Amino acid sequence: MTAAKLIRAIFFIEILKGLALTFKTMFTPAVTRRYPKVKRPVQPGFRGLHALAKDENGKMKCVGCGLCGAYCPSKCIYIYTSDGKDHKKVVDRYEIEVLRCIYCGFCVEACPFGAITLSEHYEYSDYSREPFYMTKDKLLSNWDKHFAGEKGKRYFRDFWRPKSEDFIGYEGQAMFKGIKNEK
């Protein structure tokens, strides 16, 4: 054992170093975020509670095609439609079992009309299961609550509008109606 090692062993240099470090750390500000009082800002594109989008006239955008329900990996979207006036399709019930949802966002991608969206809202814990069964009315009121104002509009535009709106085909390509051929 060399002299330096002996001195280090006798005076516990390593332990003293550790003590100095913890003492210094004691005076640095804590990193704790006091959650209910101080909320963490949600990241862009956060997938939270579902909402059914409304158009400018306040009418539901959903047409009841059922693509979201067909696409859903956990099969938690239930859609019931019926024959309405002039053989128009009427969406009677649009229901999501939120407790089974895995928040993959496939329903949003599947929707050709940007009717189903995921909001930034994530604080919806409750004491029973019923509040987590989202009916059409609840989903529509979610839209009013969480996509209200300029902020909600921007959030919807940036993340949840139909991807087909961005699609530009080459000249002469066969297209569905309503998709712009050129920008």
**At its nearest, how many Å lie between another protein and the CB of residue 76?**
36
**How far apart, in whole angstroms, are the C-alpha atoms of residue 73 and residue 166?**
25
**At its nearest, how many Å lie between another protein and the CB of residue 6?**
14
Q: Residues, the chain, total?
A: 183
**At its nearest, how many Å lie between another protein and the CB of residue 21?**
8
Q: Closest CB to another protein among 27 and 176?
A: 27
**At its nearest, how many Å lie between another protein and the CB of residue 22?**
5
Q: Which amino acid is at 139?
A: L
User: Per DSSP, what are the bridge partners of residue 90?
Assistant: 82
Q: Closest CB to another protein among 27 and 127?
A: 27
Q: Which of 183, 139, 149 is nearest to 49 (CA)?
A: 139
Q: Maximum distance among all alpha carbons in the chain?
A: 99
CA dihedral 123, 149, 183, 163 (to 10 degrees): 20
**How far apart, in whole angstroms, are the C-alpha atoms of residue 77 and residue 70?**
8
Residues lying near another protein in the complex (CB under 8 A) are found at 15, 18-19, 21-23, 25-32, 34
Q: Closest CB to another protein among 21 and 148?
A: 21
Q: Closest CB to another protein among 12 and 80?
A: 12
